[in-house]
Chain A
Amino acid sequence: MTFSRSLQSIVFILIALGIVGLALGGYLTPVSRILLDPVVTAQTWIATRYQAIQDFVSAPQDTIRLRQRNAELEAEISRLQTQVIELQQQLSVTNILSALVDFARANPENTYQAASVIGYDASPFVRYVLINLGSDQGLRRGMPVVTQAGLVGRVAAVTASAARVQLITDPASSVNVRLQPSGAQAVLTGQITGDVLLDMIPQEANVQTGELVLTSGLGGGYPPDLLIGQVSSTRSQAQALFQSATIQTVVDFSQLEIVLVITNFQPIDTEPLLPQEETP
Chain B
Amino acid sequence: MTTLISIPIMGILAILQSSIVSRLPLLHGTADLILLMIVAWALQKRVDTPWQWCIIGGLMFNIVSAVPFGIPLLGYALTTAIALLLRRRVWQVPVLAMILVTFLGTLISQSITLLALRVVGSSISIPQALNLVMLPSLLMNILFAVPAYSLASELADWLYPEEIKV
| Interface, chain A (partner B; CB < 8 A) | 118-126, 128, 130, 156-157, 164, 166, 170-172, 189, 191-194, 254
Which residues of chain B are near A166, meaning CB under 8 Å?
A: 66
Which residues of chain A are near B72, meaning CB under 8 Å?
A: 123
**Interchain CA distance A122-B25 in the complex, whole Å:** 11
Question: A122-B21, A124-B25, A157-B66 are known contacts; what are 11 more A-B pairs with Cβ within 8 Å?
Answer: A120-B18, A120-B23, A124-B133, A125-B110, A125-B114, A126-B67, A130-B64, A171-B124, A172-B121, A192-B129, A192-B132
B14 within 8 A of A: yes
Which residues of chain A are near B14, meaning CB under 8 Å?
A: 122
Which residues of chain A are near B18, meaning CB under 8 Å?
A: 119-122, 130
**Residue pair A121, B25 in contact (C-beta under 8 Å):** no
Which residues of chain A are near B117, meaning CB under 8 Å?
A: 125-126, 171-172
- B contact residues, total (Cβ < 8 Å): 35
Q: Which residue of B lies closest to A121 (CB)?
A: B65
**Interchain CA distance A164-B69 in the complex, whole Å:** 14
Closest 8 CB pairs of A and B: A119-B18, A120-B22, A172-B122, A122-B65, A122-B64, A171-B122, A122-B17, A128-B66
Interface string of B116-129 (1 = CB under 8 A from A): 01001111110011
Minimum distance in angstroms from A258 CB to a CB of chain B: 16
**Interchain CA distance A192-B34 in the complex, whole Å:** 22
- The 8 Å CB contact of A119, one of B19, B28, B29, is B19
**Residue pair B65, A126 in contact (C-beta under 8 Å):** yes
B113 within 8 A of A: yes
Q: From residue 1 to 57 of chain B, which have CB atoms closer than 8 A to chain A?
A: 14-15, 17-19, 21-23, 25, 28-30, 32, 34
**Interchain CA distance A170-B117 in the complex, whole Å:** 11
**Interchain CA distance A191-B125 in the complex, whole Å:** 8
Minimum distance in angstroms from A179 CB to a CB of chain B: 21
**Interchain CA distance A156-B67 in the complex, whole Å:** 12
A123 with B66, Cβ < 8 A, contacts A172-B120, A172-B122 known:
yes
Minimum distance in angstroms from B166 CB to a CB of chain A: 47
**Interchain CA distance A171-B132 in the complex, whole Å:** 14
**Residue pair B19, A192 in contact (C-beta under 8 Å):** no
Contacts A/B (CB < 8 Å), 13 sampled: A119-B19, A122-B21, A122-B61, A122-B64, A123-B61, A123-B65, A124-B137, A130-B18, A171-B117, A171-B124, A172-B121, A189-B123, A192-B28
**Interchain CA distance A71-B60 in the complex, whole Å:** 45
Interface string of B100-112 (1 = CB under 8 A from A): 0000000000100
Listed residue (B34, B66, B133) with the most chain A CB atoms within 10 angstroms of its CB: B66
**Residue pair B66, A193 in contact (C-beta under 8 Å):** no
